[in-house]
Structure 1
Amino acid sequence: MYFKRKIDDFLLNWKEDISHKPLIIKGARQIGKTESILHFAGNVYANVVYINFVLDKRFRAIVSDGYDVDTVIKNISLVDPNLKFVPGETVIIFDEIQEYPDVATCLKSFNIDRRFDIICSGSMLGINYKKIHSNSVGNKTDYEMYSMDFEEFLWAKGYTQKHIDDILRHMTELKPFNETELNVYKALFLDYCVLGGMPDVIRGYIETGTFSGSTAVQEQIRLDYEEDVRKYAEGLDQAKIISVYRSVPSQLAKENKKFQFNKIDKNARSREYTGCIEWLIDAGVIIECQCLGYPELPLKGNVDEGKFKLYYPDTGLLISALDEEAQEDLRVNKNLGVYKGALYENFVAEAFIKQKLGLFYYKKENSTLEEDFFVRSKSELLPVEVKSNNARSKSLSSLIKNENYSDIKNGIKLGDFNVGYVNNIYTFPYFCAFMIKAFVKKLD
């Protein structure tokens, strides 16, 4: 069973561009990169040459005596003489290139030669990406992939583009969902939160109609991530990296969700862990939300480097990392209000990063003024508040009303609401988070 993914359209557009360059697809393990690449390649090319540098180490010397196209093709053919190379009809897929980053040096030759298309990928590509980038700068196109988002989950469940467009229409026209629409999408959203977006987890759910086995798959993925730390984290304290990864759920359970090193170890210092966090971000297994120095535009360059929040880029994996009692409450009672709203907040962070939106928050020193996220339109900054209850949005209202925050005119509130607009605050149900970028674009 192949699930339609957003990368499908990207790959087709890349192929149709007559000046397309070799493509590098980055992303964490088991999010469906290889499956999507091979599905696309099998439908578009007469010849597919697939090389996995983890599964077949014989190919780890194909550029040892030269980076020009003919030498590389010759060496690949020496390893496997059954592979065919037909100019204009062949794509060469280099998978798991973090195991052999030197192969990226030949991308320039393929880009100039243009007889064969090249797609590179790797589960831990981010770790060696600086070297790969330096070897191929100006001769590649990059694409960052994540696990399935809520829109892709809806596709997997049989919903069409018409349904997606209708959700956006409700948001832009400020038209409340009817009771049936609201109940159906809320139930789907809760299922997606518990499952997350890992294709193997979604596949089991679609095939059986149950959550049976999903926890085991999620736990194995988290264990695989920790095994990657032991395999790829060179020159860093591997135990510290794993401790940071494991501490994210408990850090999010705090009232103050700012990441605190002393919650890992009372004697921990930031300088001891900074490289560990960067490693996990590069590996694609955590995402960082930066703290704004002041809530104004521009966002980049306006951050307090010493303050940040960390999230899992897949809420299903986060839930699988919780204690058994909390997991049971979530899976049986669908009570996402546990952990002080951390799960809703993580879902929104996940939805934003999958829309290629930056992650920023704000907390004023010595004040209760705090905002979960921010997005920007062409002309204004919109604070986004994630509500796990029906309490008033004091911070959101303060940011909008205070003349000192001149870039802020409106705000967005996500919660157990219907669509509305009151006092310059747009309210949307949680499940609309995946359409925030499209909504803001419509505002422009």
Structure 2
Amino acid sequence: MFRRKAYDRLLAWKGADDRTAMLIEGARRVGKSTVAEEFAKNEYESYALIDFTRVDAEFKQTFLDLRNDLDGLFLYLSAALGVTLTQHQSLVIFDEVQMFPPAREFIKHLVADGRFDYIETGSLISINANVKDILIPSEEESMRMGPMDFEEFLWAMGEDALVRMIRHAFDSGVALPDSLHRKASRLWREYMLVGGMPQAVAAYAPARNMAAADRAKRLVLKLYREDIGKYGGLAAKRVRAVFDAIPGQLAKHEKKLVYTQVEEGSRSRDFMTAFAWMREAATVNLCTLAEDPSLGLALSADDTVVKCYMADTGLLSTMAFSADGTSLPDVYRQVLLGADGVNEGMLAENAVAQQLAAAGHDLYFYAKSSNVREERMEIDFLIVRPYPDAAMKPRISPIEVKSGKRYSTISLDKFRAKFASRTGEEYVLHPRPMAKKDHRRLLPLYMSFCL
């Protein structure tokens, strides 16, 4: 199994004094079940894994019949699954718990009993579709798990030492030596194409087989499209239209979603249900316009103006360049070589969005349209970070993503001029080595996971 940050969060949960169950939720195929079982194997004497996509009707009925007889229930689980459960030393995993909601509701009583620990896993789209008839237990906490970020990708590629060097460089403000910068940049380009879906990384890592990674990604995309039809309900048509339009929208200079280009004659309100579904499915990262940037970015959010990024950049590269699967496109080779003629802006910006989302940031951007040129600007991302020049008090940090080595920072200059009292450290993410200019840090793209 690949090293995942979710494992560390599970360790913190296990070591806490609070008595709760942990629900691992997220998009399909991001590794939720794998990390839960690996955690069980390593951190407990024994574990019981109940996969509710595989158990039969008799198992479910027996589970229901024994809810008032916990001694009998645990004996039954031990016998049916062939495991020995030891009090305070065993873990019970309810895998794909959305397929049997009564088990999730019963977590309240199982946690109160206190004999064992409990982890649940589930996909968000079907979790939220199957809770209307149950009481969500307050004894349940949750964590979202997504595709692998760049740091996890480097771990999978055996580059642990390089990860430590990148973090040290970010913290110390001293750029990596040129040789390591070139190596990290090459691996970042690989990541933009392979992405962070565990199946794709597993196919790619042993021999850097891009064709195998592409096959794995196409299978995931097929599954996601099937889920839209299965769970999308009345919004399925618009969800599918937005999903398929993402590469085309991101390829444009103006990356905001234009509704009429997705569906002729449509308006923003026509897509609100579709966006809500896509947020639950966790297959996209929606970046919302903040009309009046402040520490409470959500307070001025306009949910009708969004940029729609794929949750995994590797899936985006396959959608954009290799959807038919007949052969690997030449653009892959050009991206890997860092060819000057390739416009990597779509992939770079999507990959940065993926890093920020993985780090726990809600995604916001700022844009100002005006007939006056001096007032027009667009900032790719806004996050809140401690500002060293303000005694580490939080400030808005604007982020610009630049895929080419030649660029301007006019929008950043205008943003600071307009929102000086709210603005902290600015970031330019670009292909060059790290540098600092006054209140602006210029970071190589591969350092975006550090923010």
Give the TM-score taking structure 2 as reference length.
0.89
Report deviation, 1:172. Answer: 3.1
Provide the aligned length of Structure 1 versus Structure 2: 432
Change (3 A) 1:420 1:238: same
CA distance in 2, matches of 1:401, 1:84: 66
Give CA-to-partner distance per residue, 1:360-409, whole Å, 9 cap, x none. Answer: 1000132521100012123311100001232211010111233x442014
- Secondary structure of the residue that 1:197 maps to in structure 2? coil
CA distance in 1, matches of 2:430, 2:119: 40
Report deviation, 1:94. Answer: 0.8
The equivalent residue for 1:440 is: none
Match for 2:450 among 422, 435, 444?
Answer: 435
Match for 2:357 among 336, 349, 353?
Answer: 353
| C-alpha contact 1:68 1:110 (8 A) present in aligned 2 | no
CA distance in 2, matches of 1:207, 1:394: 43
Match for 1:418 among 433, 439, 444?
Answer: 433
Structure 2: tracts of 5 or more residues without a match: 386-392
The question of 1:123 aligning with 2:123 is answered: yes
| C-alpha contact 2:101 2:134 (8 A) present in aligned 1 | no
Change (3 A) 1:368 1:146: same
| C-alpha contact 1:290 1:359 (8 A) present in aligned 2 | yes
Change (3 A) 1:339 1:102: farther
Structure 1: which amino acid aligns with 2:357? I
CA distance in 2, matches of 1:371, 1:139: 41
Match for 1:321 among 319, 322, 330?
Answer: 319
The question of 1:48 aligning with 2:47 is answered: yes
Change (3 A) 1:68 1:117: farther
Change (3 A) 1:322 1:91: same
Give CA-to-partner distance per residue, 1:102-135, whole Å, 9 cap, x none. Answer: 3211111012111111110013456517828972
CA distance in 1, matches of 2:177, 2:363: 31
The equivalent residue for 1:369 is: 377
CA distance in 1, matches of 2:81, 2:29: 30
The equivalent residue for 2:334 is: 333
CA distance in 1, matches of 2:94, 2:231: 19
CA distance in 2, matches of 1:78, 1:253: 54
CA distance in 1, matches of 2:306, 2:61: 42
Change (3 A) 1:82 1:137: closer
The equivalent residue for 2:214 is: 215
The question of 1:168 aligning with 2:167 is answered: yes
The question of 1:27 aligning with 2:30 is answered: no
The equivalent residue for 1:89 is: 89
The equivalent residue for 1:442 is: none
Structure 2: which amino acid aligns with 1:230? G
Change (3 A) 1:81 1:421: closer
Report deviation, 1:212. Answer: 2.7
The equivalent residue for 2:401 is: 386
Structure 1: which amino acid aligns with 2:365? Y
| C-alpha contact 2:214 2:318 (8 A) present in aligned 1 | yes
Report deviation, 1:75. Answer: 9.1
Give CA-to-partner distance per residue, 1:263-319, whole Å, 9 cap, x none. Answer: 112122333321112111101111111110112222121211221111111100000
Structure 2: which amino acid aligns with 1:44? E
Give CA-to-partner distance per residue, 1:2-25, whole Å, 9 cap, x none. Answer: 211112222222222243311100
Change (3 A) 1:422 1:129: farther
1:43-442 equivalence runs, <5 A: 43-58=42-57, 59-61=59-61, 64-65=64-65, 67-68=67-68, 70=70, 73=73, 77=77, 80=80, 82-124=82-124, 127-128=127-128, 131=131, 135-160=135-160, 162-234=161-233, 236-324=234-322, 328-334=329-335, 338=342, 341-366=345-370, 367-377=375-385, 378-389=393-404, 390-402=406-418, 404-436=419-451
- Secondary structure of the residue that 1:291 maps to in structure 2? strand
Report deviation, 1:63. Answer: 5.2
| C-alpha contact 2:194 2:201 (8 A) present in aligned 1 | yes
| C-alpha contact 2:334 2:342 (8 A) present in aligned 1 | no
CA distance in 1, matches of 2:425, 2:36: 41
Give CA-to-partner distance per residue, 1:213-241, whole Å, 9 cap, x none. Answer: 1111111101101111222234x232222
Structure 1: tracts of 5 or more residues without a match: 437-444
Structure 2: which amino acid aligns with 1:358? D
Between stretches 188-197 and 89-98, larger displacement belongs to 89-98
| C-alpha contact 2:165 2:176 (8 A) present in aligned 1 | no
| C-alpha contact 1:415 1:427 (8 A) present in aligned 2 | yes
Give the TM-score taking structure 1 as reference length.
0.90
Change (3 A) 1:62 1:143: farther
Identity of aligned residues (%): 27
- Secondary structure of the residue that 1:256 maps to in structure 2? coil
| C-alpha contact 2:52 2:94 (8 A) present in aligned 1 | yes
- Secondary structure of the residue that 1:418 maps to in structure 2? coil
Report deviation, 1:38. Answer: 0.8
Structure 1: which amino acid aligns with 2:44? Y
Change (3 A) 1:133 1:393: farther
Report deviation, 1:247. Answer: 1.1
| C-alpha contact 1:254 1:340 (8 A) present in aligned 2 | no
Between stretches 312-321 and 140-149, larger displacement belongs to 140-149
